[in-house]
Amino acid sequence: MKKILVTDPIAESGYTILREAGFDILDYANSSREEWIHVLPEAHGWVIRSGTNPDEEAIQKADNLEIIGRAGVGVDNIDIQAATRQGIVVMNTPDVNTISAAEHTVGMILAVSRNLAQGHESLNRGQWNRHALVGTELFRKTLGIVGCGKIGSEVRKRLQSFGLNMIGYDPFLTQDDFDPSHLKIVDLDTLTRESDFITLHVPLVKDTKDLFNVDRFKMMKKTARIINVARGGIINESDLAHALIHGIIAGAAIDVFENEPINENHPLLNLPNCILTPHLGASTKEAKEGVSLAVCNQVRDYLVHKNMTFALNNPFED
């Protein structure tokens, strides 16, 4: 009987798919690396989310592993090259979190523009700081969307009703892909200079690491705000803290971090013009259910039928 290791929380419906397929489940969803690393050599399939790091050290211990299934889209936590060398297929579920991430982005934009978190906290402290928490409207402001694919497009659709001017940057898309009355494609420097709000929807790769650093923050309007519900590491967090503290930009709303969970000394903590959430972009009941069903179906179908749905590598090529 083949065994499936699960090291991050998934919905019960995912477990049901695996059990009904006849797999033995090694459930370590709420366990530490030190606990699951010892059973990894037994596993034929491995189901993870963002909380597990299948690095080269772990992959080398996975003697029987055939597939890593990532419930979600981001795979920067997986050493895909090491998996490929080991003959392990890596798959993700790129479409399932789109709505959840887009809605969280819209919520973060509204929260950072109207000081919602700060107002809530001040009331809890017994203060009435209405005049100190004057926000800004979205109407007639410019939204810059960095990464105009599925999530970026869903953000654009949801914010059209606010009367925003929409501009976008995407190295893989051109103006021919969009109605110019809905989205104007520009270069990244133009987007940085002209936007009142910048929202990020790109993967973390070599070209996007520290894409927004102190030099780029200095190009932004002093009244501008940046939102990241994509991946940690796209924004240099120390540089962002510097920009917020010294008034280089007006605010930020950050859901993802270079190292998660963050520690008590993180530079973005306790800044009055920064809203932080603990990687909630895909944390809805609907998204958790969707990615659990998708990834467990994909793992089952690969181990039973060798179907390679949304495979990110091909370890069988010469």
Q: 44-101 pLDDT, tens per residue?
A: 999 999 999 999 999 999 999 999 999 998 899 999 999 999 999 999 998 899 999 9
* pTM value > 0.85: yes
Q: What pLDDT was estimated at residue 125?
A: 95
How many CB atoms lie under 10 A from the CB of residue 308? 16
pLDDT at 261 over 70: yes
Q: In what order do the strands lie in the sheet with 89-92?
A: 24-27, 3-6, 45-48, 67-70, 89-92
List the one residue out of 286, 232, 288 whose CA is nearest residue 255.
Answer: 232
pLDDT at 281 over 90: yes
User: What stretches of 160-250 show up as alpha helix (H) in DSSP?
Assistant: 188-194, 214-219, 237-245
pLDDT at 237 over 60: yes
Contacts of 95 (CB under 8 A, 6+ apart): 150
Report residue 300 as tokens: 């089952």
3-state secondary structure at position 92? strand
**Range of weakest confidence among 2-11, 32-41, 129-138, 308-317:** 308-317
Q: What pLDDT was estimated at residue 95?
A: 85
Q: What pLDDT was estimated at residue 316?
A: 75
3-state secondary structure at position 168? strand
Kindly list the catalytic residues.
231, 260, 279
pLDDT at 5 over 60: yes
Q: What pLDDT was estimated at residue 210?
A: 98
Q: What pLDDT was estimated at residue 146?
A: 98
Q: 190-224 pLDDT, tens per residue?
A: 999 999 999 999 999 999 999 999 999 999 999 99
Q: Tell me the mean pLDDT in the region 238-263.
A: 97
Hey, what long-range contacts does 221-224 have (CB within 8 A, 24 or more apart)? 221/193, 221/195, 221/196, 221/249, 221/250, 222/247, 222/248, 222/249, 222/250, 223/136, 223/196, 223/250, 224/195, 224/196, 224/197, 224/198, 224/249, 224/250
Q: At what angle do helices 12-20 and 285-305 cross, to 10 degrees?
A: 20
pLDDT at 317 over 70: no
Q: How far apart are CA 138 and CA 156, in angstroms?
A: 13
Q: How far apart are CA 36 and CA 63, in angstroms?
A: 14
3-state secondary structure at position 220? coil
Report residue 182 as tokens: 């809905």
What percent of the chain is predicted at pLDDT more than 90? 96
Q: How far apart are CA 290 and CA 299, in angstroms?
A: 14
Q: How far apart are CA 11 and CA 16, in angstroms?
A: 9
Q: How far apart are CA 268 and CA 241, in angstroms?
A: 6
Structure-derived torsion over alpha carbons of residues 231, 72, 316, 79, reported in degrees to the nearest 10: 40
Q: What pLDDT was estimated at residue 152?
A: 97
Q: Are 226 and 235 spatial neighbours (Cβ–Cβ below 8 Å)?
A: yes
